[in-house]
Chains A and B, each alone.
Chain A
Amino acid sequence: MSSRFDRWLPWIYALPMIAFVGLTFAYPTLSLLTYSVEHVGRSAYLPTTFVGLANFRYIATDSLFHRAIANNLRLFLCVPVLLVLSVLLAQLLHDRPKGWRIYRSLLFIPYILSIPVVGVVFGYLFQYQGQLNNGLRALGLDALAADWLGSPALAMPTIMSVIIWKELGFGIILCLARLSSVGEQYFEAARVDGANWFQVLRYVTVPQLIPTLAFYAIVELINMLSWVFSYIYVMTLGGPQNSTVVAEFYIYQQVFQNSQIGVGAAAGVVLLCIVGVLLAVRQWLTRRLAIYESE
């Protein structure tokens, strides 16, 4: 027995995975650290030189990088909206109205559509002469018609609404799955005691959903830092007037358009640190909530 399940066997099974993960995660992360303290030359004639913390000093004073980080922080504002809407819709579905399965399927569709497709379609809907504005004008609400993606003040909120639209389905499904595993007797008991819909929501649903919501919030916060590149690339390319540049897009521009690999890498290290902090919070929450749930 022990000869078969001996010490090196697990490593052999895991080897291909470890090799691929090492190649795509471990090695790049290490070289990212090196790049961040170098001026990376573009060819043999422009050699790479060690520049210490110059790249970090550069981004520390670059107003575009500050704006990018500020925009990522603004994206965090999507998260409370997502939490509230997920809870409300999950509770509505959990009440099992007629056809709730169909509603669930439909509400989940935005989550499976691709960001490039969604971005292009919303791009047209939000144009100055697009459907949204023409609809508003037809209703006599000309004053509300605006250049949604074309004005620096509105572009970011517009992108945020598209992100909320896309990510909401995930939250609903998570909350619904959790509510289905909560005993129906809790809801029933509250109703027997005369609790109305909002009281059930406040005193039964929300407390039961706390662990799920904490998980969902952290996942979405990390998304708002690490996974919003496609929205920006397809809808605004960082414009108008750089008003929608986020950290990912800043790095992309520095590396692939300005060939400032060192600067991009330094920004990447900063981004990685922020994500690392959120990850630590998530691990801490998971441990805390495991205790909370077992009580």
Chain B
Amino acid sequence: MRANNRSSAWPASLLPHAALIGFAGIALLPLYFMLVSAFKTRDEFLANQFGPPRAPVLSTLMQSFAGGDLFHWVLNSLAVTIASVLLSTAFAALAAYPIALMKWRAGPYVLGTLIALMVVPPIVLVIPLFQIAAALRQLNTYQTVIVIYTGLLLPFSTFLLASFFKTISPSLIEAARMDGAGSWRIFRSILLPLSGPALATVVTVQALWVWNELLIAIVFLQSEHLRTLMVGLTVYNSRYRIDVPMVMAGMLWGTLPMLLLYLVGQRFFIRGLTAGSVKG
């Protein structure tokens, strides 16, 4: 059984592929199911649950979009996602700057607090936040969810940008300071231009999180015209319950934006999601 070289080492070279194909297949199962079902009519689905559609139709996908609900929810989600990700990234960059690069005695404590806050269950924050929003008559408004999302994102985004800023060579900052650049100038003209990939990483991970968030959207956006896509999809699901292809078509629309973003910016996803592990 003991092999001398790598190529004949057990398990034989086919086995890893078999295992990987098996796991990849399981990983893709829901996506496959959405994809093949969305191109079937309800009648075909009843006769052919598993296979690819024998007579592919676009009518299911078109119908699922008809009435404009899905489109409306996508727009709502986009608005909320863009606003909270922009705010959070901007504030995180501003805060990460002194944490990483200035002499700030409170800096390490601020960072430690942020790391601890990352694990607070959102549900416990939602109870008081709901009472505050109700008292201020700010339920069912986008500004409320945007503020909450921004606040919830900030510990992670600040932490991530601070760890990136720490990798910037201090001599570079020092040289700029010698040349008389102020702190804002250094931030604008040195830090930000160097941080393109880091900012892209932070933006992708945050966008993924806000886009997929359900609890806060359910609690704070209850009126129909404000629903985000994730809440909308749960409503959509109960509306079409007996028409599986219709449901799957809706789920496919809901998945496509993030899936495309992942296929284009894969390295940002992977870097951002593993970055937290470098320093816990």
B227 to chain A, nearest CB (A): 12
- Residue A64 at the chain B interface, CB threshold 8 Å: no
A4-B183, A131-B49 as given contacts; A230 in contact with B215, CB under 8 Å: yes
Residue of A nearest to B276 (CB): A219
The residues of A that contact B86 with a CB separation of less than 8 Å are none
The answer to whether A146 has its CB under 8 Å from any CB of chain B is: no
Tell me, rounded to whole Å, the shortest Cβ–Cβ distance linking A20 to chain B: 4
Asked whether B251 lies within 8 Å of A271 as measured between CB atoms, the reply is: no
B-side contacts of A16, CB under 8 Å: 90-91, 94-95
Report the separation of the CA atoms of residues A275 and B119 in the bound assembly, to the nearest whole angstrom: 7
The interface size of chain A toward B, counting residues with CB under 8 Å, comes to 99
Task: Determine if B128 and A35 form an interchain contact, defined as CB atoms under 8 angstroms apart.
Answer: yes
B270 pairs with A108, CB closer than 8 A: yes
Of B4, B124, B148, the contact of A268 (CB 8 Å cutoff): B124
The stretch from A55-63, A73-81, A121-129, A148-156 touching chain B is A121-129
User: Which of chain B's residues 98-124 have a Cβ closer than 8 Å to chain A?
Assistant: 98-99, 102-104, 106-107, 110, 114, 116-117, 119-124
Asked whether any CB of chain A lies closer than 8 Å to the CB of B83, the reply is no
What 1/0 mask marks residues of chain A from 180 to 207 whose CB sits below 8 Å from any chain B CB?
0000000000010010111000000000
Q: Is A227 an interface residue (CB 8 A)?
A: yes
Name the A residues within 8 Å of B6 (CB-CB): 191
B99-A14 in contact (CB<8A): yes
| C-alpha gap A248/B155 in the complex (Å) | 21
Residues of A within 8 A of B124 (CB): 28-29, 32, 251, 265, 268-269, 271-272
Could you mark each residue 218-253 of chain A with 1 if its beta carbon is under 8 Å from any beta carbon of chain B, else 0?
Answer: 110010011101100110000000000000100110
Counting CB contacts under 8 A, is B16 at the interface? yes
Decide: A268 near B24, CB < 8 A? Known: A5-B183, A118-B30.
no
Q: How many residues of B contact A (CB 8 A)?
A: 97
Q: Contact at B234–A21, with CB atoms within 8 Å? A: no
Bound: A198/B119 CA distance, A: 35
Max chain B C-beta neighbours (<10 A), residue from A31, A114, A234: A114
Task: Give the residues in chain A near B199, CB-CB below 8 Å.
Answer: none
| Contact across chains for B92 and A17 when beta carbons are under 8 A apart | yes
Q: Is A113 interfacial (CB 8 A cutoff)? A: yes
A131 to B45, CA, bound (A): 11
Residues of the A chain whose Cβ atoms lie less than 8 Å from the Cβ of B183: 4-5, 9, 13
Please name the residue on chain A nearest to B26 by beta carbon.
Answer: A165
Q: Are B254 and A107 in contact (CB under 8 A)?
A: no
Task: Evaluate contact between B154 and A21: CB separation under 8 angstroms.
Answer: yes
**Choice from A95, A120, A169, A269 contacting B16 with Cβ under 8 Å:** A95
CB of B91 within 8 A of CB of A5, answer no
Partner of B20, one of A92, A174, A196: A92
Chain A residues lying within 8 Å of B177, measured Cβ to Cβ, are: 1, 4
With an 8 A cutoff between CB atoms, is B147 at the interface?
Answer: yes
Does B27 interact with chain A (Cβ within 8 Å)? yes
Contacts of B122 in A (CB 8 A): 226-227, 229
Closest Cβ of chain A: how far from B73's Cβ, in Å? 12
Q: Does A143 contact B (CB under 8 A)?
A: no
Task: Collect the chain A residues with CB atoms within 8 Å of residue B131's CB.
Answer: 31, 35, 40, 261
Give the distance in Å from the alpha carbon of A117 to the alpha carbon of B73 in the complex.
Answer: 14
Verify A21–B24 contact, CB threshold 8 A. no
A10 near B: Cβ within 8 Å? yes
Q: How far is the CA of A278 from the CA of B104 in the complex (A)?
A: 29
| 6 nearest CB pairs, A to B | A24-B151, A10-B98, A226-B121, A17-B95, A114-B212, A268-B124
Using A14-B110, A226-B120 as known contacts, list a sample of 14 further A-B pairs with CB atoms less than 8 Å apart, ordered by residue number in A: A5-B183, A9-B98, A16-B95, A17-B91, A111-B273, A112-B208, A114-B211, A116-B234, A121-B30, A173-B273, A197-B10, A230-B215, A248-B215, A268-B124
